[in-house]
Amino acid sequence: MSNAVANVREDEVLVELRVMLEDLVLFHSLKADAKTIFNAKDLREAAVKHDKFLLKNFSLRDADGKLLKGEVDRRDLTAIPDEGVPQAELMKRHAIFLMRYVPAKEKPRFLTVLQQFGGTKSVVPSIMDFMVLQKGIWTDKPTQLQHGRPHTIALDWENPPTQAPKNWRELRKKREEEMQQRLGITSYTGLYSYIYLNDREVRHEILVPLLTFEKWLPVKRKNPEFLEVEDQKAATKLIAKWFREHNPVEIDGIPVKAVLQRLQFFGLDINDFAQNAEPRRISAYQARLGIILRYPAKAPPSRVNMTWEIFNESAPFLRSIVYDRNAKPTEEFFVKDQPRFEWKRDGAPPIPHSFELDWKTAPAEMKTNPEVTPPPIQNKRGQLADNSKKISKVSYILIGIAFAFAAFTWMLYRNHPQRIIRSFGILTIWLFGAFFFRNHIPDADQTTPTKLIASTNSAPVLDLSNRTAILLQNIYRAYDYGNPSDVYDALEHSITGDLLEELFLKIRSGLRMQEQGGAIANVQNVKISTINRVPNAGATFNCTWNVTGTVEHWGHIHTRENQYSANITLDITREGRGRISEFEVTDEKRVRFETGLRLFDDN
């Protein structure tokens, strides 16, 4: 949120405009370092570039509609310390721009102000507190300027103000009159709607002023001036039920009941949208409802129908910003004659991801990696089984030679008078040979189904490093499911034993963005950096990987990338089926955190 004070004189208009440092980050694509601190030099350079942006998107017009010529006289950037600004401070610190506008005629009777601090089409609500002084004297309460909606000021030069209002009682009376006439719309932002479509759900996020909502459903409160915390708690269930009934959704022709994901009462602090703000007393004239309705899909939707059934003089239409997966946002307008939004998928739905890995036959992506030697495994006697193809061939050759020698001996002496004694001798030789070559004969108790050794049908040798990488990918893919029980079931294909529940909670905690009120991030990418075999540790690998996740609400995208290192052990017994049995995190750090906008396609 920005705010401006315009001091109107006979021959000029001086504007002091305060802009949050977050605006400099968003509109100039600044990046924070690994500690989420924005460089002071970058912020100051962005402030200089912001001059052009302000002059373009903050405009004054005279009574004839002609633009007043403006310029930036100077800037106050003392809010930017030399050590930089942390991410959490961006909304609390402001850059101040001192601007000067010259009217074509002195003593202008009317001034029309317009702010478009989101471009020609605003995705994120841009609100400005605007106050007018006439020759340095304040005459009325600040007005909230909504993006793209002009506001006209009438100026009396014949009887100019000589002093500010004596007390707040006069201003309160005037405010109540305006509230009755305009339903409080001019005191804060309007009605906003965001529709998110993805393969798991349809999500509708709605921001609506309290006084606008009360035209549909009155909210009881003890004090007409304020909405107390107790009032908010009492109204939550009622409001959620009302929205579910008036915003029906069908997915592939089937009505889907909404799941209330979030319902909060916001004031004017924009931090409330980014964080899970604690309930507090809010002015009735500034309060807004923020509600998120989630419509879960059992399969990737092919068709979605949404109906908006509520209109009144304060909200004659609903303008929604539609986010179709990763595509550029589009606009959808709900009006009385056309209250239905219909969406159809282009192309075929995605093929469901398979979490099952065939442990008996190695899949194509797990073929032998010559640089990785599979770990030794043990048979039931506790002896190491040799996995080398070379040793196995030698074993079979030696056994074959012994068999041929025995057969030759028998044939040579089959008619000999002492053939029985010689037969016992040959049998004794066989027994000694079997004992001598026992470690070269394939053991039936050995874990041969894993294909860690060569099979008779030439199946490929399983590469455990590749399998570990795939298991890591599958762990994060499991969290694509919205239902925790579905996530748990998917994880069971990759994790075994008591580790399953522990890792389910650990990964979920790692995906939680505390900066966004604890929302669970959607995993966009899992990049494996290194996988190295741990010496003398069986099927244990030291792995390093990066996870990039996003949380998106109210048109903002918050992106976070973390790096992890861990020692991961696979259980390569029949029961374990090559799943992860140990997972020891050795290091984790944040690589980046940034906030961006999903902008409209200018074309």
Q: Where are the alpha helices (DSSP H) in 478-596?
A: 484-491, 499-511
Does the model's pTM come out above 0.75?
no
State phi, psi for 594 to the nearest 5 degrees.
-150, 160
Decide: residue 112, CB within 10 A, 0-12 exposed, 13-18 middle, 19+ buried.
Answer: middle
Determine which of 82-86, 246-250, 274-278, 547-551 has the lowest per-residue pLDDT on average: 274-278
| Beta partners for residue 195, in sequence order | 204, 322
Q: Is the pLDDT of residue 544 over 70?
A: yes
**Average pLDDT, integer, range 493-513:** 84
pLDDT band per the 50, 70, 90 thresholds, residue 566: very high
Identify the residue with better confidence: 419 or 84.
84
Report the alpha-carbon distance of residue 105 to residue 250 in Å, rounded: 58
- State whether the Cα torsion 594-595-597-598 is positive or negative: positive
Residue 351: CA count within 13 A, CB half-sphere? 2
Report the alpha-carbon distance of residue 7 to residue 399 in Å, rounded: 102
For domain 464-597, which CATH number applies: 2.60.40, 3.10.450, 2.40.40, 3.40.120?
A: 3.10.450
pLDDT band per the 50, 70, 90 thresholds, residue 388: very low
pLDDT band per the 50, 70, 90 thresholds, residue 8: very high
**Concatenated DSSP letters of 232-263:** HHHHHHHHHHHHHHHS-EEETTEEE--EEEEE
**Average pLDDT, integer, range 274-296:** 79
CA dist 392 → 283, 463, 602 (Å): 81, 18, 66
Q: Where are the domains of the chain?
A: 2-164, 192-344, 382-442, 464-597
CA dist 12 → 69, 141, 482, 522, 527 (Å): 10, 22, 57, 51, 58
- State whether the Cα torsion 399-401-403-409 is positive or negative: negative
Mean predicted lDDT score pLDDT of the chain: 78
Select, from the ranges 152-156, 227-231, 326-330, the one with the highest average predicted confidence (pLDDT): 227-231
How many CB atoms are located within 10 Å of the residue 230 CB?
Answer: 12
Q: What is the predicted pLDDT for the residue at 123?
A: 55
Decide: helix, strand or coil at residue 66. coil
Q: Is the pLDDT of residue 517 over 60?
A: no
Identify the residue with better confidence: 262 or 379.
262
| pLDDT over 70 percentage in the chain | 72
Comparing CA positions, the residue from 252, 353, 268 lying closest to residue 305 is: 252
Identify the residue with better confidence: 516 or 578.
578
Q: What is the predicted pLDDT for the residue at 213?
A: 87
Q: Is the pLDDT of residue 524 over 80?
A: yes
Q: pLDDT tens digit string along 413-434?
A: 666 666 556 656 665 666 666 5
Decide: helix, strand or coil at residue 401. helix
**Cβ–Cβ < 8 Å for 321, 240:** no
Q: What is the predicted pLDDT for the residue at 284?
A: 75
**Average pLDDT, integer, range 516-529:** 81
Q: pLDDT tens digit string along 286-340?
A: 678 888 899 999 889 999 999 998 887 667 888 898 999 888 889 999 998 899 9
- Which residue pairs from 471-477 have beta carbons closer than 8 angstroms and sit at least 24 positions apart in sequence? 471/357, 471/568, 471/570, 471/579, 471/580, 472/526, 472/528, 472/543, 472/545, 472/568, 473/526, 473/528, 474/355, 475/503, 475/507, 475/580, 476/507, 476/523, 476/526, 476/547, 477/353, 477/355, 477/523
| Beta partners for residue 567, in sequence order | 542, 584
Q: Which amino acid is at 299?
A: A
Q: What is the predicted pLDDT for the residue at 416?
A: 62
Q: pLDDT tens digit string along 336-384?
A: 889 999 999 988 888 877 777 766 544 333 333 333 334 443 443 334 3
Q: What is the predicted pLDDT for the residue at 269?
A: 58
Q: Is the pLDDT of residue 79 over 80?
A: yes
Q: pLDDT tens digit string along 10-43?
A: 999 999 999 999 989 988 989 999 888 999 999 9
